[in-house]
Amino acid sequence: MSVPPDGTAVVTRTRAPRVGPALAVVAACATVVALLGAGVRADFGAQLRVDAEVGEALYAGDDRARALDWLLEALTAPGLAVVRYALAVPVLVWLVRRAAWRTAAWVVLAAGFVSPLTSLLKDAFGRVRPAFEDGGARYDSLSYPSGHSSGIATLVAVGLLLAWPLLAARARRRWLAAGVLAVLVVGLTRLWLGVHFLSDVVGGWALGLGWTLLTAVLLGALPGGRAALR
């Protein structure tokens, strides 16, 4: 509440966060991760066939040009944990200087712990990487869910939730479109590089989005919440 010079009290209100829809999305994302993971563990035929067919169709091949390989590696890089941490550090410094401690804690929780969570799920489901006739990437790490996909989904979701209260309607639409494009591109690069199955990518997207929204609900980081920027 503020009091102008004439002494009339003016009450300013902020819109309460819409927790219900956020929790519905969290539940949907958790369902996707669980169902795809169950399909992996049970060798569900339809899922495996789609994974194999899409993987074969999109894999860029072992003999791809070096320039194409560099391009794909550059496009997939935003999904790396080190990129997420590098972008989070200046944001955290800015938040700390604003004394936005709750918001900073949310950024650390959401952006910092999605990778360990992804690793736990990889170990739980135990899926090996795609194998191709000419060899493929031959990664030793496990495949489901995709860490790059969960990482980019988390990065974009955290960025959008942080900036949303500060953006005009037109800017919101533009940044949302740019964020969705980034998520799609990183996910597709995992298929073009032949290092993940389609269900790995979709499961990673669902994990990153669900995890970000869950932590935002818990710490009040949804627009209008205690940790939201104003």
Separation between Cα atoms, residue 126 and residue 119, nearest integer Å: 10
Instruction: Give the whole-angstrom CA distance, residue 141 versus residue 121.
Output: 12
- Tokens for 140, please give them: 């030793």
On whether the CB atoms of residues 156 and 212 are closer than 8 A, the answer is no
Other CB atoms within a 10 A radius of the CB of residue 55 amount to: 20
Q: Which residues are catalytic?
A: 148, 196
Residue partners of 96: CB distance under 8 A and separation at least 6: 104
Burial class (CB within 10 angstroms; exposed 0-12, middle 13-18, buried 19+) of 83: middle
Helix 198-219 vs helix 147-163: crossing angle, to nearest 10: 40
Tell whether the torsion through CA atoms of 160, 89, 109 and 144 is positive or negative: positive
